């Protein structure tokens, strides 16, 4: 008994010394790991790449245009610049006419399709899934034009043709979309769709306001598919919602 009691303090002391040494070494290793990790990043990323990555954050904060209403330049600076600014990963560099000429030769529609759906190392919508299709189209036009193209940038909040911000006429463009797509459900009121011209069905919905209706119809609502399945421009879809909802006033 007395022998065991005599050993205990020595073992405790050894354990404590061991624990302190272990902790000191562990903390030193962790600190080294943190600083060397940072140093490796700093070496791997060139100043240009760092700048390209840092800049978009500032630009995104600086641009307070509402979602969907950003110009090609704003989208470019917020998203596309991070690769195309420096030509990262083999992307055609902004303003480099030599790199853009073979791309421009594919035509605006092909470039838009590739920007929307992705193309090799180019991620769909540049990785920003919340961009609207029109915003991507504007960014493609902005970048293409900087590389020597003469693309028309779709106007913000208006016609896809670029008519200086003028909204599309609901009774022309909207009617056309309605008759080709929306009529399938809204013509007869199929699947609970508010029927064309039915004031009672539209009354409670109209209180959401035109933009509220556009927003919910864009997202989809129960049996109403996103954009009613329409794949054309946001401006045309907007005009179709206006045409359809006006019928219920
Ligand atoms: C993560 C990096 C990255 C981001 C972000 C990015 N791109 Fe790209 N992009 C690429 C790469 C890489 C290519 C070249 C792909 C190839 O040709 O194989 C490319 C090619 C393209 C092309 C040419 C496609 C073709 O058919 O030749 C267009 C147009 C384009 N990008 C538009 C955009 C737009 C618009 C944005 C912003 C919304 C954007 N990109 C953001 C990497 C990126
Ligand atoms: C496959 C059938 C279908 C098609 C096609 C369709 N809709 Fe709908 N839509 C519906 C249904 C069902 C609702 C009602 C959803 C609910 O309130 O539960 C609806 C509701 C709406 C509303 C009201 C949204 C709200 O917030 O109350 C709008 C606006 C609308 N659709 C617009 C359109 C337009 C524009 C098109 C054509 C581009 C279209 N829809 C195509 C089925 C359809």
* Contact residues for 235 (Cβ-Cβ < 8 A; gap 6+): 134, 154, 155, 157, 158, 159, 160, 167, 168, 173
Tens of pLDDT along 132-190? 999 999 999 999 999 999 998 888 864 344 333 457 888 888 999 999 889 999 999 98
Q: Which ligand is nearest to the CA of 217?
A: 2
- pLDDT recorded at residue 6: 52
| pLDDT score, position 68 | 82
Residues 56-79, mean pLDDT to the nearest whole number = 72
| pLDDT higher than 70, residue 131 | yes
Residue 111 · residue 149 · CB < 8 Å: no
Give the ligand with the smallest distance to the CA of 220: 2
- The span from the CA of 245 to the CA of 226, in Å, is 17
Q: Which CATH number fits domain 170-246: 1.10.760.10, 3.40.50.300, 1.20.58.60, 1.20.200.10?
A: 1.10.760.10
The pLDDT of residue 101 is: 96
Domains 47-146 and 170-246 share a fold: yes
Total-model pTM: 0.47
pLDDT of residue 97: 95
Give 73 Cα–ligand 1 centroid separation in angstroms: 15
Mean pLDDT of 208-223: 91
Ligand 1 close to Cβ of residue 149 (< 6 A): no
Least confident of 19-28, 42-51, 61-70, 215-224: 42-51
Q: Are 183 and 136 in contact (CB under 8 A)?
A: no
Best of 126, 129, 142 for a ligand 1 pocket test (most atoms within 8 Å of beta carbon): 126
Would you list the domain boundaries of the chain?
11-44, 47-146, 170-246
Topology of domain 47-146 in CATH is Cytochrome Bc1 Complex; Chain D, domain 2 (1.10.760)
What is the average pLDDT across 27-38?
Answer: 55
């Amino acid at each position: 008994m007395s022998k065991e009691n005599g050993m205990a303090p020595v073992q405790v002391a050894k354990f404590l010394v061991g624990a302190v040494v272990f902790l000191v070494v562990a903390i030193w290793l962790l600190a080294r790991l943190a600083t060397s990790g940072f140093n490796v990043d700093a070496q791997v990323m060139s100043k240009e790449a760092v700048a390209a990555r840092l800049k978009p954050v500032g630009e995104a904060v600086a641009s307070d245009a509402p979602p969907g209403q950003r110009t090609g330049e704003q989208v470019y600076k917020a998203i596309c610049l991070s690769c195309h600014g420096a030509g990262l990963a083999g992307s055609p560099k902004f303003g480099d006419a030599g790199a853009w000429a073979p791309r421009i030769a594919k035509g605006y529609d092909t470039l838009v399709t590739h920007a929307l759906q992705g193309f090799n190392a180019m991620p769909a919508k540049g990785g920003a899934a919340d961009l609207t299709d029109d915003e991507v189209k504007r960014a493609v036009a902005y970048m293409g034009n900087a590389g020597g193209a003469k693309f028309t940038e779709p106007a913000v909040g208006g016609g896809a043709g670029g008519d200086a911000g003028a909204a599309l006429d609901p009774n022309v463009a909207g009617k056309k979309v309605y008759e080709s797509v929306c009529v399938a459900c809204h013509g007869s009121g199929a699947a609970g769709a508010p029927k064309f011209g039915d004031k009672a069905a539209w009354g409670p919905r109209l209180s959401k306001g035109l933009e509220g209706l556009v927003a919910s119809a864009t997202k989809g609502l129960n049996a109403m598919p996103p954009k009613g399945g329409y794949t054309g421009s946001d401006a045309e879809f907007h005009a179709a919602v206006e045409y359809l909802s006006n019928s219920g006033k």
